Copies of this chain bind each other. A is one copy, B any other.
Amino acid sequence: MTSMLLARRLAPSIQHSHHLIGPGCRLISQAAAKVDIEFDYDGPLMKTEVPGPRSQELMRQLNIVQNAEAVHFFCNYEESRGNYLVDVDGNRMLDLYSQISSVPIGYSHPALVKVVQQPQNVSTFINRPALGILPPENFVDKLRESLLSVAPKGMSQLITMACGSCSNENAFKTVFMWYRSKERGQRGFSKEELETCMINQAPGCPDYSILSFMGAFHGRTMGCLATTHSKAIHKIDIPSFDWPIAPFPRLKYPLEEFVKENQQEEARCLEEVEDLIVKYRKKKKTVAGIIVEPIQSEGGDNHASDDFFRKLRDIARKHGCAFLVDEVQTGGGCTGKFWAHEHWGLDDPADVMTFSKKMMTGGFFHKEEFRPNAFKVRFGIQSASWNSSHHISVPGSRKRKKGRREKRPPCLWQPSPYRIFNTWLGDPCKNLLLAEVINVIKREDLLSNATHAGKALLTGLLDLQARYPQFISRVRGRGTFCSFDTPDESTRNKLILVARNKGVVLGGCGDKSIRFRPTLVFRDHHAHLFLNIFSDILADFNPEILLEP
């Protein structure tokens, strides 16, 4: 494996890296002056069938220690750049799936190379702190430069987490605490609550629920999995909670031809949501919150209208349920807005919003009223103690007088910092990279680019749909977050395999959809390149033939 190109870019002359042109690369200059020069390849270059012999050998080795049957191929990330993923057999592919939608500004972006190279940053990559107790000096600054600079409307509070599942799990917990605190009012935890929670019983562990939608994907840890309903294989054999599941609209396309039907479909789903809230309250499994993706991704790229989400948000408010928007896949700019929920045009779009993937770190934003509440410790109840060995008064929050004896009041409102907590709480080295990613997104106006390139992609897909209706239907999308349906799973999978051998990486979702999840540096010309290749594929495509080179 050669990595000469990267090595050259790592030389002290890095600031001139855009002058370096390696074999097979070219400079792609954008017309608009504001767009930075991008380091990218000029097209796919295929040398073997994928997976090639080297990938196959590595798959065999990996399969000895874990099930490697999900592996597509092994990658040479050193040689990958921009929108192009290079594999270990030297194949170079236009990547429209970008690591399940988790690469924000392309592979090996020079700005990120610099972040790692800067001497003052090395410490952040090797000294991972317990962020909740011992944050680094620049923690607040980096949050301001990165996540806080793109905070969604009304949600001023921010917690970082290591991944999307942990983000949703902790968002659920935040919702449960908020709901219980509303019910509890001014009283503190009761002795019964403190004792029963230790043995997983109500009232300490209340029978609250989170309402989710059929087709949703919110992660695979046990709390998240109770709200995930996209594929049986994610859920089978795993114990779960009896939580309400509403139908998600199944829209008919083209939308302009099915306006009334789609409105009726959305109304039906919203009605079911309200019915379930009432039904589960009666069952004593009160719906503390509703979770929804702005576009159901893993479940098949299922869209609903902005109006649907506005009404859903109203229903949540009406019934006193928290409204939790999962932007793990939709967030970060790919829909043309930084957060997909911005398309709804609401001043109060959500109470809690989770993110991960393209944001490089997981986490969630929430409203101030969802800050885990202070709680009343009743005298003599030892088990009420949070790990107060860690506790330090925040300046101004509590006054102490010098030399005075400390006297514990019999009843005390205590801060509750350890209610949402874990050892790492994210990773500052991801915040460092994200700050630079957000710089690049802003500097290069990559949100406008997503709108523009997405339009080129969608227009092209609609054209292919018109020409090949036997293979392509229900073309849909927002920004570059596009997709279409194929006739069936087998055809879909074959199309993905054929495209890969022609140098294009695509991803599936749902039963028979293909989803586009390119990076934010995916430009119009990449869209046209893909459309040309895919058009050729469709012209020759025979779903009945087993495909091998």
Contacts and interface: CB of A to CB of B under 8 A. Distances in A.
A372 interface: yes
A177 B237 contact: yes
A543 B495 CA distance: 73
A421 B489 contact: no
Interface stretch (A203-211, A443-451, A524-532): A203-211
Contacts of A13: none
A58 to B, nearest CB: 6
Most chain B CB within 10 A, of A64, A415, A419, is at A419
Interface stretch (A67-75, A315-323, A347-355): A67-75
Interface stretch (A27-35, A123-131, A255-263, A334-342): A123-131
Nearest to A189: B236
A122 B6 contact: yes
Interface in A396-435: 396-397, 400-406, 408, 415-424, 429, 433
A177 B388 CA distance: 39
A333 interface: no
Interface string A63-99: 1111111111111111010000100100000000001
Contact of A136 (B77, B133, B208, B384): B77
Contact of A77 (B127, B356, B396): B127
A415 to B, nearest CB: 4
Contact of A197 (B58, B219, B235, B400): B235
Contact of A116 (B126, B128, B402, B433): B126
Contacts of A507: 389-390
Contacts of A75: 129, 134-137
A70 B6 contact: no
Interface string A232-269: 11111111111101000000000000000000000000
A223 B240 CA distance: 9
B124 A125 contact: no
B384 A232 contact: yes
A384 B66 contact: no
Contacts of A157: 65-66
Interface string A258-302: 000000000000000000000000000000000000000000000
Q: Which of A129, A143, A148 has the most CB of B within 10 A?
A: A129
Nearest to A214: B198
Given A102-B128, A108-B127, A222-B221, A65 B156 contact: yes
Contacts of A208: 239
Contacts of A58: 135, 137, 139-140
Nearest to A377: B233
A359 to B, nearest CB: 12
Given A232-B189, A384-B233, A546-B400, A422 B137 contact: no
Contacts of A438: none
Contact of A74 (B107, B135, B240, B546): B135
Interface stretch (A36-44, A164-172, A461-469, A533-541): A164-172
A162 interface: yes
Contacts of A126: 108-109, 112-113, 115-116, 433
B66 A134 contact: no
A400 to B, nearest CB: 7
Contact of A159 (B66, B109, B170): B66
B127 A80 contact: yes
B391 A546 contact: no
A511 interface: yes
Contacts of A201: 240, 242
Name the 9 nearest CB pairs between A and B, nearest first.
Answer: A389-B508, A222-B223, A70-B417, A200-B240, A10-B119, A205-B240, A69-B417, A77-B127, A180-B237
5 contacts: A67-B420, A125-B125, A222-B226, A231-B386, A389-B493
Given A59-B392, A69-B392, A189-B232, 17 more contacts: A6-B119, A6-B123, A66-B157, A70-B417, A72-B390, A75-B134, A80-B127, A102-B130, A102-B423, A163-B423, A172-B222, A173-B220, A198-B229, A204-B232, A233-B384, A233-B387, A391-B493
